[in-house]
Structure 1
Amino acid sequence: MSASREPAAVLPLDSAPATLADQAYARIKQMVFDFTLMPGDRCSESELAQRLEVSRTPLRQALQRLEREGFLQVMPKIGWQVAPLDFDTFDELYDLRVLIECHAAQHLAEAEDRPALAELADIWLVPAAERLADGAEVGRCDEQFHARLVQASGNREMARVHREITERIRIIRRLDFTKSARIEATYDEHARILRAITRRRGDEAQRLLRAHIEQSKLEVRHITLDMLYRARRQA
């Protein structure tokens, strides 16, 4: 696929951190994502500072940022803990995401001016030979697909909430692109959603979008639990 078809990266881990705090943030977050730091694990600032070879001030800034995003929890007089995976909360976030994105799909199906559709079609309505195969890249494109749908609705508050949801579920959602079958399914399902919106079939687009997100939610839960099981056995 040509470079012009690739959306801007949306995962903060992929951009080059500018400060020591940004570097520490990116490295710790990657450790959480890779389950090097397991849900429920505890660690002190001194341990992390030594492990990352960074001073306490930028480290604390990174830890506080990760706490605000829900990845870590502070434990007074003890240190820090990797937040346990709360699938009930993830389910609620996915439910909210469905509501926002279905509203956006209906809006797009009815809108007169729809430049976002052409942009998304250039990425997702491509021959099989031009499809991306790298899971991380597809994950970035997938986030951009759903974000562009919401942004195109013109509702800035909905777009803001959607960005927050995206950040909070990324820890499990990214795992949906670790298997080639799921990558192929993502292309096929996005294509069907785009065609329904283009043909102004709002009800059909909402049905397809809801099924797409629900299936992704089930897949990532299964993959996450399997990865946790394997990581604990190897610990």
Structure 2
Amino acid sequence: MKTVRNSAVNPASTGRVYERIKVMAMTYQFRPGERINEIALAEQLEVSRTPLREALNRLVSEGFVTTVPGRGFFGRMLDAKEIHNLYELRVSLEEAIIRLACERATEEELAALEEFAQSRPTQENGKSLEALRHDEEFHLRIAGMTHNPEFVRLLESINSRIHFVRWIDMRRRERLDMMAHVRFAQLLRRRDVAACLTDSSIVIRRRYSEIVDVIRSGIAEIYMAPDERI
């Protein structure tokens, strides 16, 4: 049996525990509705129960896991309505970000964004996760151009909560439009707010029925063998 280390008094260690468990929750390594075995998880991460519980309670408040009084912590459900609401929120947030980025971004930031867009990876040969991470980083860079860190923080939170569904969605697509980010970066560089808003809305909006369909595929992925998962 692995030795469980006491990291309760170490904030840096506690933060690392939180980040590791957050990734597990994001990728549904805790199956929906399944009780999280705290003892086994503490042994797996080689930490004590105190920082583990602190991390789990924080993740409950952020919507990544759930808790039932007296019963413990559970993997969050794949709720189509909740995910649809998050997509809807992301559309509104991105609209605000675009307006401010067009107004506040420096020419150096806009040029760097276009250069980053040109490095977009393909999703071929199992690289859909890499493509998704690049897409998330692209939008976070635009949020950074507002020069308001609260936009970045909120977008990061939304991205994390829909990360798994977006990965499944991207895996289902036959091909990725490699020039989409470049075109958007060019529109942003021209500070064309109307064109940017139209382009962004088309890409981000997802109908409820589409999300339900993606979730069906996601459920199948969750119950595959661990080494076949994200």
Residue of structure 1 equivalent to 2:129: 136
Checking the alignment, whether the CA contact within 8 Å between 1:24 and 1:62 is kept in structure 2 is yes
SS in structure 2 of the partner of residue 73 of structure 1: strand
Structure (1 or 2) with the greater helix fraction = 1
Checking the alignment, whether the CA contact within 8 Å between 2:30 and 2:36 is kept in structure 1 is no
Q: Per the alignment, do residues 219 and 189 of structure 1 end up closer, same or farther by CA in structure 2, a change over 3 Å counting?
A: farther
Query: In 2, Cα distance between the equivalents of 1:98 and 1:29?
Result: 24
Partner of residue 195 from structure 2, selected from 196, 204, 207: 204
Checking the alignment, whether the CA contact within 8 Å between 2:98 and 2:196 is kept in structure 1 is yes
Partner of residue 49 from structure 1, selected from 42, 49, 56: 42
> What TM-score results when the alignment is normalised by the length of structure 1?
0.72
SS in structure 1 of the partner of residue 205 of structure 2: helix
**Residue by residue, what CA displacement relative to the aligned partner does 1:130-151 show, whole Å, maximum 9, x if unpaired?**
8455333322221121112122
Checking the alignment, whether the CA contact within 8 Å between 1:176 and 1:216 is kept in structure 2 is no
Kindly report which structure 2 residues correspond to 1:15-26, keeping only aligned pairs within 5 A, or say none. Answer: 19=13, 21-22=14-15, 24-26=17-19
Q: Per the alignment, do residues 216 and 174 of structure 1 end up closer, same or farther by CA in structure 2, a change over 3 Å counting?
A: farther
Q: Per the alignment, do residues 108 and 60 of structure 1 end up closer, same or farther by CA in structure 2, a change over 3 Å counting?
A: closer
Partner of residue 110 from structure 2, selected from 113, 117, 126: 117
Q: Per the alignment, do residues 204 and 171 of structure 1 end up closer, same or farther by CA in structure 2, a change over 3 Å counting?
A: same
Number of equivalent positions: 213
1:152 positional shift: 1.0
Query: In 1, Cα distance between the equivalents of 2:43 and 2:153?
Result: 36
Query: In 2, Cα distance between the equivalents of 1:218 and 1:78?
Result: 34
Q: Per the alignment, do residues 201 and 26 of structure 1 end up closer, same or farther by CA in structure 2, a change over 3 Å counting?
A: closer
1:30 positional shift: 4.1
Q: Per the alignment, do residues 221 and 198 of structure 1 end up closer, same or farther by CA in structure 2, a change over 3 Å counting?
A: farther
Query: In 2, Cα distance between the equivalents of 1:96 and 1:139?
Result: 19
Q: Per the alignment, do residues 80 and 111 of structure 1 end up closer, same or farther by CA in structure 2, a change over 3 Å counting?
A: closer
SS in structure 1 of the partner of residue 32 of structure 2: coil
Q: Per the alignment, do residues 211 and 22 of structure 1 end up closer, same or farther by CA in structure 2, a change over 3 Å counting?
A: same
Kindly report which structure 2 residues correspond to 1:75-90, keeping only aligned pairs within 5 A, or say none. Answer: 75-90=68-83
Q: Say if 2:91 is the partner of 1:98.
A: yes
Query: In 2, Cα distance between the equivalents of 1:143 and 1:194?
Result: 14
Identity between Structure 1 and Structure 2 (%): 30
Q: Say if 2:40 is the partner of 1:40.
A: no
Query: In 2, Cα distance between the equivalents of 1:23 and 1:105?
Result: 32
Superposition CA RMSD, Å = 3.4
Residue of structure 2 equivalent to 1:229: 220
Q: Per the alignment, do residues 109 and 45 of structure 1 end up closer, same or farther by CA in structure 2, a change over 3 Å counting?
A: closer
Checking the alignment, whether the CA contact within 8 Å between 1:189 and 1:212 is kept in structure 2 is no
**Residue by residue, what CA displacement relative to the aligned partner does 1:104-154 show, whole Å, maximum 9, x if unpaired?**
32344455733222111112135xxx8455333322221121112122123
Unmatched segments (≥5 aa) in structure 2: 1-11
Residue of structure 2 equivalent to 1:169: 162
Residue of structure 1 equivalent to 2:204: 213
**Residue by residue, what CA displacement relative to the aligned partner does 1:68-120 show, whole Å, maximum 9, x if unpaired?**
22111121211111121222222222222212222332344455733222111
